[in-house]
Structures are given as structure tokens and as C-alpha cells.
Structure 1
Amino acid sequence: MPIPVPHLLSFDLSFSCVLIFNSVDIKVNLICFLMCTGETPADIFREKYGDIFPLIGKEPNFTNVTGNLFANKLITPGEIGRIKTQHNLDDNKRGDALAMNLFEKIDVDDNDKSAQCLLKICDVFESKKVDNEELKKLGSGMREKLLSTTATSQVPTDAISSAPPQPSEPTTTQTNPNELNVGDVEKVLNALNKAMFGPTKWRSLGLSLGLIAPTLDTIGKTNGDSEDYLEKTIQKWLQRKDQVKGTTWKILKEAVASTGDNAAAGKIP
């Protein structure tokens, strides 16, 4: 039986909705999300809370998860230290403290930040460095639910403005005016981030874009995380390496869809 977490059940939705009026963009995005789904990223994490904390409190899961959370800038050394030094700490209490720390980072008024935080946590749970099948299933399940519940919501206007179909001043010769170039790496990453594309699928995306396995194998040996690998994959694509035939938004959209992430593909401009 999951250990009850009473204070999590006192989530005051009306109070959160009042707070978002401090930002027009945040208010619009969150209201659209709630109208379409009635559920926030924090709600999705809360539903799995009782399954998560017993797993992440055990070794080697605790060390592997906290190490990857730190690498993804989701937890600080001080926060890890405070959890480790709590008195009478058993696996459940340690896992509960870590899970609560993560929940507080997800449970914020900026819905975009909240969703991105949950997706990064899913990346950690699903990563090979954590290597726990139960956590992988939890991460995959939360990701799928988050993406499916936001599939019908409107794409924020800043996602379109941050990634327009017309590229900036080209740095390489282009035959198609709609082609992206090596100077558009950040623009493409921002669009993928806004679309909530999981960076753990970087290899599948690379293959769909026309990169070959040896190139991706080299990327995977650079001792980075999934976000680093995704960035390098996009760089190679925009450099038109290997069997890349084009670098347009349409090609990116189709490649994302081919990874099975149709929800993210639908949000790419």
C-alpha cells in the first residue's frame, strides 16, 4: 500500500488559477490546457507518486536517479545532501523525500515549465544509466499521458514565433529557401522542446532524418546525456551529413512522427 501524502491532496486549483494572472501568456497556456484535459503535469506525477517513491528510495536506484537528475539540472548537491542526512532514513523515507522534491519542482504556475520538468524526469526514469524496468514503465506512462492530454491543446504562439519556417541568414548554400541551416540548431531544439519531444528518442529521430548508424554511434559515445545527443544529432542533420536529403520543417515533422511521437509532430510548425 502506498504511503499517504496528505498535503499533496490539498492542491488548491482555484488559487493556482489566480496566480497565473500575473502573466498573460502563462494564463492563456494553462487555461487552454485545463479546458482540454482538466489535468496538470503535477496531477500526472501525483497519480504515480505511490509507485515512484518506493522505487527511487532503494539502491542503486537512488544514486543513479539523483546522479541523472543532477546532470539534467533538476536537483542540486545541497538538496541531495539534505535528503541523505535526514535522521532515521530508510528506503521509503528517502524515496518519499526525493519524490516530494521533484513534485514541488513540477507543481508550479507556469504550465510550460511544469510540463518540461516532468518530461525531463521521464527522461531520467527511462535512461539506460538508471536501468530499472519499473521506473522505465513509470516514465513512459507519464510521458504518454502528458503528450496525449496536451495533443488537442493549442500550440503557444511563442512556439511559432521562436521557430518560424523561414530560416535566418544562411551560412551554407541552399537550393530551397525554406531549408534550415547549421545556424538554426537552437531554433530547431526550441521547437522540439515546445513540442515536448522526448530527447531519449534522439537515435530514432537521427535515423529518420537520414543519418547513418555509425554517425549516431559516435554521438552516443560522447559521454553526454540524451539532450546532448539530440543537439549533436540536429547539428549533423543541418550539416546535411550522411544520407540527409533536406533540412526543412516538413522533413523534421515527418521524422518526429516516424519515431511514434505523433503528438509532438503535430506541434512542430
Structure 2
Amino acid sequence: MPETDAPAVVPIEASPTRYARWAAEVAGTFVLVFGVIGTAIFAAGFAAGKGGFNVGFLGVALALGLSVLVSAYAFGPISGGHFNPAVTIGLATAGRFDWKDVIGYVVAQLVGGILASTLLLAILAGSKAFSVLWFRGASTGWGVLSPGGYSLLSVLLIEVIATAILVYVILGVTSSRGAVGFAPLAIGFTLTLLALIAIPVSNGSFNPARSIATAIYGGPDAISQVWLTIIAPIVGALIAGSTFRFLFDRTNKLASA
């Protein structure tokens, strides 16, 4: 065949549509809630610990980190992998996400979380020991909902601080200086670490979608306390989003000749 100087055609991958990004947020949040709440309900206290088959706090913390890690690799390239209203708000506050897209993402995350908890309830209904109190035990809050009986102030502080740390890490690892391809690992391990600290205090949410999805089936105590684990993560995200650039994103300017 004769040689040609025509340039090779390089296919250009179109950007995901708004609907594709919403679908990715639904799917990712579904995996997160299904993974961590499913582990908390079915495996954390399995058989009251008899036989050593229960996974305890460590298993729930790992489930949270793994759920976000696999969702970020699977769906992150489509939507950015927020799966958390507080993260979406934190990224928008930092100027990394458009405010006009926040509502669509938050609605998608709520849909994914509620769908997951609803299907978990359907599975739970097949147990001889069926009780909605299982969702109460996985709900976030203070006093009767805190595994360690911690106060409202303690839960407020842990949820604000943990969410701020999470958003700081996300902003750092997804910046232009971050190691390409390793962000989901860093975020997943960060969530595991934070959960190990926070589960005894608040049951470890850092995510309003996860809190709401669990509370709607957790009974009166869970419903009455869910406001705190909606507000506290958002406050933490606002703190991180508004201070990240000032604290970590300053650069030296070259002196003009």
C-alpha cells in the first residue's frame, strides 16, 4: 500500500453527561452504604461474638474504606467519586467543583444511600431475628446511639474533625501535585483510619447520605438525632474547603528579573 502523510486518527473520549455522573454517584453511594451498613448489621456482632465469626469495629472500618476505594476506582472516572454530600460541598467550597452541580450530586447520593439501606432492610426481613433495632445500632448519634455512650459535644467534635481531615486528604491527593492513580487508595485508607477512631464515639458517619439512609429505618432515636450527623460533616467540609488553599496550596512566586 502507498505510504501516506495523513495523521493517525486519535479517538476523543467524550465527557460523561450530567445523567451519567448522577448515575455514577448513585452507584458509588449505594456500594458505600451497602458495604459499611451491611457489615455493621450482619457481621459486626454476628452470633453475639460466639465462635469468633463477628468482625467488630475493625471489620466495619475496613468495610468503609474498601467500599469507597472500589467505588472510587469504578465510578470515580465518571463523576469524580464524591459519594458524600459533605465531600461535594467541601470540593465546591475549595473551588474544585461547580456549585451549580451540587444539588444534583447530593440528590443522587441520597438516592443511592436510601436504595442501599432499603435493600438491606429487605434482606434483614428474611432473618428469624428480624428487628429494625439492627438499623438503630448502625445509626450515628450520641448517648443511646453512641457505642461508647459519648455526649452530643463529643459526637459533634469527632464528626467535624474527621470530615475536615477527609476533605483535606481528598483535596490533597486529587491536586495537580498528587500521585496519579493513587487517590482512591489514600482516601480509602483515610476513611478506615477515621472510622477506627470514630466508631466507638459516633458510629462513624462523616457522610450525611449514610446517616440519613440508616436513620430512616433506625427508629425514633435515630431520626431525632440525625440532624447532628448531617450538620457536623458539612461544617467539617466547609472548614477544610475554605482553608485548604490558604494552608497547603500557596506557592513561591519567581522574582521578576
Normalising to structure 1: TM-score of the pair? 0.28
Normalising to structure 2: TM-score of the pair? 0.29
